[in-house]
Amino acid sequence: MEKVKKRKSFTRSYRPVVIWLEDLEEIVATLQETTKDVQISTDDYRFTTVDEVKEHFGPKTQFAMEITSSAPYLRLQLTRLWVELYVSPDPQSAKLFHEIDGVLSRCQRSVFYRYWLIVPSMVALYSDFVFPKVPATVVISGLGTVGAFWFLWVCFVKMRRCAVIYLQRRSESSPFFERTKDQLLLLLIGGLLGGVITFAGVVLKERFYPSAPTVNAPTQP
């Protein structure tokens, strides 16, 4: 009797990713060393090298791309809604998967781009109504409002920019504040609105549901 070792496929989904030109080149170079028929596809075009992609699109940022190869079959889907890597069963599958996975893992956005953020945000947002006599809860509620706006930004990224592919090297990119000014402005506006909404909520609560006045016990003569 001989035990048959079954080969298995590998698959993984990722958080939103930001891929630079050097990351894309590393992924394709790894595939070309191990697999055959490497192809890079967009919605309307198909390429065989990263240089062809760069020549056609120039520095224009992409939000959808698929990279495939054969022997073993590999498919990397980079879309607005999800990022997923699949490698079919083959003697080279494990090695190939872990090499590509290493590149994608470091390209992932931070853990704050996960939906769990809504839980502490909502708890903080309504803490002032649950514990109305604790002054610190006003600040906590304001932070919760900011967190809620951040959660909305995370939802936008996950639904529209799960994959962002910059066809330029990181060293050639514009400064951080220039690249992220829109996001920073959104967070600033969200923070200001959160503070205003929190203050207005406190005022309205005191107007319609005033806190009971503290009555000091009479002192003995």
Task: List CB contacts of 166: < 8 A, sequence separation 6 or more.
Answer: 18, 19, 20, 21, 59, 61, 173
SS3 string of 4-21? CCCCCCEEEECCCEEECH
pLDDT at 95: 94
Residue 71 lies in a domain: yes
pLDDT at 216: 52
Residue whose structure tokens are 């903080």: 124
Domain that holds residue 123: 115-208
Domain count, the chain: 2
pLDDT at 122: 58
Question: Is residue 45 located within the same domain as residue 124?
Answer: no
The two tokens of residue 143 are 């932070």
Is the torsion defined by CA of 128, 130, 131, 137 positive or negative? negative
Residue 86 lies in a domain: yes
Residue 217 lies in a domain: no
The two tokens of residue 142 are 């304001």
Whole-model pTM?
Answer: 0.71
Q: Are 63 and 80 in contact (CB under 8 A)?
A: yes
pLDDT at 151: 77
pLDDT at 82: 96
3-state helix, strand, coil in the chain (%, to 5): 50, 15, 35
pLDDT, averaged in runs of 10, over the chain (221 residues): 72 96 97 94 95 95 96 96 96 94 96 69 54 52 66 86 94 65 62 59 59 54 50
Residue 15 lies in a domain: yes
Q: Which of 107, 132, 149 is the last residue of a domain?
A: 107
Q: Are 49 and 78 in contact (CB under 8 A)?
A: no
